[in-house]
Amino acid sequence: MSIARSSETGTQRGKVGLFGIGLAAYWAQFKGLKRRLEGYQQIVSRHLDRFCEVVDAGLVDSAPAAATAGALFAREGVELIICYVGTYATSSQVLSAA
């Protein structure tokens, strides 16, 4: 477990994993949706960063991307994982990451 100490307040900051989910099949159907969801996730990441260290795995839109996100979270030793739900997604996109 890794807890970062804030130099400003002397308080401890936990380490949080963040990933967004969206269904890859939607990208061709809805122009600009993927980019918009990535932008929303950046906003979430910036808000979380005020309170904790954020390990952002980006937008997960497939089972292989979820496995990559899960490996990142394990390697970084995150204490909590937050899933930002942008669109419908399959369980394979969530479970492998978590």
Strand partners, 56: 18
0.95 cut: is pTM over it? no
The secondary element (H helix, E strand) that includes residue 8 is: none
Kindly give the pairing relationship between strand 4-5 and strand 15-21.
Answer: unpaired
- On whether the CB atoms of residues 88 and 94 are closer than 8 A, the answer is no
Range with lowest mean pLDDT among 3-12, 41-50, 51-60: 3-12
Tokens of 38: 């990535």
Render pLDDT for 52-91 as a digit per residue (tens, 0 to 9).
999 999 999 999 999 999 999 999 999 999 999 999 988 9
Look at the alpha carbons of 51, 84, 76, 55 in this order and tell me if their dihedral is positive or negative.
negative
Tokens of 22: 């969206």
User: Residue 93 has what pLDDT?
Assistant: 87
Query: How much is the mean pLDDT over the chain?
Result: 90
Tokens of 67: 């496995």
